[in-house]
A and B are shown apart, each in its own frame.
Chain A
Amino acid sequence: GAVVSQHPSWVICKSGTSVKIECRSLDFQATTMFWYRQFPKQSLMLMATSNEGSKATYEQGVEKDKFLINHASLTLSTLTVTSAHPEDSSFYICSARDLGNIYNEQFFGPGTRLTVL
């Protein structure tokens, strides 16, 4: 089946630094990837839709200058949390849309846990 990976799986950083999270589709091409954030005991919240070769589309209330998304290839999207603060600590999950599937299924990565000290 389609596999999506994320790197790193867990990152701890100091307040004020920037953190980059990678999302890769390993065995399929994904022109569209999605980034979610999940706080403890809460559901996933869609942050943005990442389209290969174009600017990402952000959900209402998500700061595009703080959460930089780059989707430079059909298998890689990156999320950079700039000037991270403790309130940015969360579980970040990406998903990739498999164009080879007739239902355009999404497959989710394992998530990246970000802890900002």
Chain B
Amino acid sequence: DAKTTQPPSMDCAEGRAANLPCNHSTISGNEYVYWYRQIHSQGPQYIIHGLKNNETNEMASLIITEDRKSSTLILPHATLRDTAVYYCIVRVAPDTGNQFYFGTGTSLTVIP
């Protein structure tokens, strides 16, 4: 699976959009971009995933560049409960192994 690079930490004002970048310059054509988040002392929570088109759901939007070498997770109106570590993962889906290898993630702090 391709390696991802994320900034270690970010701050965002409550109510504003949080834009979390992820670089995955070695991504393969059949690899998807997944985003998970982990609130302190809890298991990771699925947010969104995509292949090449931009995706939106009730939690967030995922913007993938045309060359697919980077992506941005957008939380449109950040709340204090969005404070968490956000992980960007790229992997083939579906695939036989299906393992997730987590990077270091971005620790997002939403400030009141």
Question: What's the nearest-Cβ distance from chain A to residue B86, in Å?
Answer: 12
Within 8 Å of chain A (Cβ to Cβ): is B98? yes
B101/A108 in contact, CB under 8 A:
no
With A43-B87, A91-B41, A113-B41 as known contacts, state yes or no: A107 contacts B98, CB within 8 Å.
Answer: no
Question: Shortest beta-carbon distance, B6 to chain A, in Å?
Answer: 11
Q: Does residue B68 face the partner (Cβ distance < 8 Å to A)?
A: no
Q: Is the CB of A111 within 8 A of B94?
A: no
A4 to B43, CA, bound (A): 10
Listed in ascending order, the chain B residues whose CB lies under 8 Å from chain A are: 32, 36, 38, 41-46, 49, 85, 87, 93-95, 97-105
User: In the assembly, what is the distance between CA of A44 and CA of B43, in Å?
Assistant: 10
Q: Which secondary structure dominates chain A's binding surface?
A: strand
Counting chain A residues whose Cβ lies within 8 A of the other chain, the interface size class is: 20 to 34
With both beta carbons as reference points, the residue of chain A lying nearest to B32 in the complex is identified as: A103
Q: Is A32 in the interface zone, CB < 8 Å from B?
A: yes
CB pair A43 B98 closer than 8 Å: no
**A73: which B residues are within 8 A, CB to CB?**
none
- Find B102's partner among A44, A103, A104, A113 (CB 8 Å cutoff): A44
